[in-house]
Each structure stands twice: as structure tokens, then as C-alpha cells.
Structure 1
Amino acid sequence: MSVGGGSGVQANINMTPMIDILLVLLIIFMAISPVSPKGLQALAPQPPPPNAPPPPDNDRTVVIVVDKNHNWKINQEDIPEDRIEDRLIDIFKTRAERVVFVRGDPDLEFQWVARAIDHAHGANIDKVGLMTPKVEEGH
């Protein structure tokens, strides 16, 4: 460290302002980064407790089924894919609880299940659940 003298102009970098700038940039990027990733919202139905009686409103459950040949059903009714949203709107006209489940064939690509979820959201369904083989067995 020099105390003075007549050596002239020195070309030393002052690191303190550069570190301050880096800390400010770090805080800015932390503040604007997304906190949680976005994706399809889906619920997994919970299995009933063992030795429990079946629920009385089991007939009110709506299940969209997509089989391995890409045929669509709502419960047991065959429906073409372009009419799914209209049929769901008709079903849920009088219902307060807007919940539907989606069941896809195990060999089906997930894009078909995602399309079923999109159709449900297009019909203003609040909650969409996914049916899996383990849930259907009660595990």
C-alpha cells in the first residue's frame, strides 16, 4: 500500500463497487425468478378406508375414459372427442360440486390423458382427478 508519493496515476481496480453491483444483480434475479413450476393441476383420488361401506352418492361420480384405441367415454356412454366438453357442460348444469376423474389405458400415451384434462377444464370443471390401477384396486 502506498502512502503517496510522486509515482503518478495507478490503474488498480477497486473491487468494492464491483461486488456491490454483483450482489444487487443477484437479488434482482432472485426476485424475478418463478417460485414454483406451472403444470397441469390434477388430484389423485384417495382409496376408501378398509371395511368402509361404499359411499351413497357413488352414482354421481363422473369418469372420462380413454381406451388404447383412443375411444372416449363418459362413464359408460361412448362419445366422440369433439363432443366431450358439451356433454360435460350438460352433466354439470345442476351440480354444485364440479369434480371429474380421468382414467386412461395403461398403454396410452400421457398426451391423451392431458387432452382429457384440457377438455374438463374447457367445460369449467373445478377439480380433475386421475384414476390409477392402484387407486381402483383400493390400495
Structure 2
Amino acid sequence: MGMASRNLEGAVNSNINVTPMVDVMLVLLIIFMVITPMLNNKVNVELPKANAAVIMEDANKEDSVVVAVTRDGKVFLGGDQVTVDDMGAKISAKLENKTEKHVYLRGDARANYGKVMDAVDGIRSAGVSQLGLLTEKTEDQ
């Protein structure tokens, strides 16, 4: 009786195993899906709550001009800290090539009201036609 044997030295496996690559791609996709919404809000601000909040989708666009006032009174234009005196010129420079001059203000709920009003005055000095005050909608129970 003879024993059957296979010649394994000459056999080449030409199949590509894509399962590990797919696993890595899915993990990267999930990471990017979780992190992307956090990138829009460069400054952490606790927004005040409002009953009649209107959804402003343009505030989430990448090229939108967003001013944030933090709890300790610091003013940020995008992710860069600015003074109220310099803010008008910097906003004018950002809005120079835009047809619609919209600016969005994210004021912390615990911020000093005077600091928020100073930021509004600085925004208005740039010749802004529309100022949107961003809030969170209260949950009806």
C-alpha cells in the first residue's frame, strides 16, 4: 500500500487575506465618525438653553465665522484667542470675500453678560449684517 503525499514546497497561496485590512478600516472609520463633530467646536462652551431655539445649520460649516466667549471672559475667533479691540478687523478680513456676512456667537451660559455684549459690539463694528446667537434647545419632558 502506498501513502498519498502532497508536494507542499511548490504550492503557492495566491489568495489575499483582506479581513485584517477591513477590520483596521472599520476601526478608523468609527474613530473619524466620533471625532469629526468635535472638531467644529474648537472652544468648549456651555451654551445657554432656550425654548424657542432655531436650528442654524450654517454655523457648523467649515468656513463659518464663529466667535466664542468663555466663562472666564476670554474671546475666541475660531480657535484663536483675540481681544475685543482686534476682533472687528479680524472678522472683516474673514468676511472680505463672502457675499453673506453671517457671524455666529457662542456665549457660555455662565459668562459675564458685559463680556458677551462687548463681543457683540466688536462683531457689529466689523459691519456684520447677520449675527446668530447659538443656544441649545431645552428638552420637553
TM-score, structure 2 length as denominator?
0.54
1:61 maps to which residue? 64
Aligned to 2:80: 77
1:47 pairs, out of 23, 46, 55, with 55
CA distances 1:36-68 after superposition (whole Å, capped 9, x unpaired): xxxxxxxx97326xxxxx77x811211110101
CA RMSD of aligned residues (A): 2.5
Counterparts of 1:27-46 in structure 2 under 5 Å?
A: 46=54
Percent of matched pairs sharing the same residue: 22
Measured against aligned partners, the alpha-carbon deviations of 1:63-98 in whole angstroms (never above 9, x if no partner) come to 110101111111112212221111001101111110
Residue 95 of structure 2 is aligned with which of 92, 95, 102?
A: 92
Aligned to 2:38: none
1:121 maps to a residue whose letter is: R
Structure 2 segments unaligned to the other structure (5+ residues): 1-51
Moved over 2 A (4+): none
The count of corresponding residues between Structure 1 and Structure 2 is: 87
**Which secondary structure does the structure 2 equivalent of 1:60 belong to?**
coil
**Retained in 1: the 8 A contact 2:69–2:107?**
yes
| 5+ long unaligned stretches in structure 1 | 1-43, 49-53
In the superposition, the TM-score normalised over structure 1's length comes to 0.54
Query: Which of 1 and 2 has greater Rg?
Result: 1
Answer yes or no: is the 8 Å Cα contact 1:45–1:129 preserved in 2: no
